[in-house]
């Protein structure tokens, strides 16, 4: 009896988190549209800062979509590992694309490179161990 109620609660929580991710994705799309409209209204003056902001927001939309895919895979009791790795790749790629050189840019770049390498090695090892179901990718 208690287990059934807990399962219902967990399912309701999964639905709530999934709905929140859809809302966040929608808000990010609206933000992206507003950024593009601002760029257009400025006479298509598309400087480095505007480019970085637009690309960063677009990639954030993809990250939220990947998180939503993780939630759906989890709810359907499918293997979430490939989707988690995809989300990690998109997140690290976003950081590379919008990379802003700062005073510690070498450390940051090396850290991002190490993250990317760790994700790639993890993917390779999991693929080799046949843990990844490539049909779901």
Tens digit of each residue's pLDDT (9 = 90 or more) over 50-104: 778 888 888 889 889 888 888 888 888 888 888 788 888 878 887 877 777 777 8
Q: What is the model's pLDDT at position 79?
A: 83
Provide DSSP, the chain: -HHHHHHHHHHHHHHHHHHHHHHHHHHHHHHHHHHHHHHHHTTS---HHHHHHHHHHHHHHHHHHHHHHHHHHHHTT---HHHHHHHHHHHHHHHHHT----TTHHHHHHHHHHHHHHHHHHHHHHHHTT-S-GGG-
Residue range 106-128: mean pLDDT, rounded: 86
Q: What is the model's pLDDT at position 137?
A: 40
pTM value > 0.85: no
Can you tell me which residue has the tokens 């759906």? 72
Quote the mean pLDDT of the chain: 84
pLDDT score of 16 more than 90: yes
Interatomic CA distance for residues 90 and 115, integer angstroms? 12
């Amino acid at each position: 009896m208690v287990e059934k109620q807990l399962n219902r609660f967990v399912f309701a929580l999964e639905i709530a988190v999934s709905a929140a991710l859809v809302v966040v994705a929608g808000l990010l799309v609206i933000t992206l549209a507003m950024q593009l409209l601002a760029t257009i209204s400025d006479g298509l003056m598309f400087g480095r800062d505007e480019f970085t902001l637009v690309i960063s927001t677009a990639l954030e939309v993809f990250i939220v979509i990947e998180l939503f895919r993780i939630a759906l895979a989890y709810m359907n009791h499918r293997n979430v590992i490939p989707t988690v790795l995809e989300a990690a790749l998109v997140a690290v790629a976003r950081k590379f694309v919008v990379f802003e050189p700062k005073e510690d840019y070498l450390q940051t770049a090396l850290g991002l490179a190490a993250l990317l390498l760790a994700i790639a090695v993890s993917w390779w090892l999991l693929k080799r161990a046949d843990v990844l179901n490539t049909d779901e990718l």
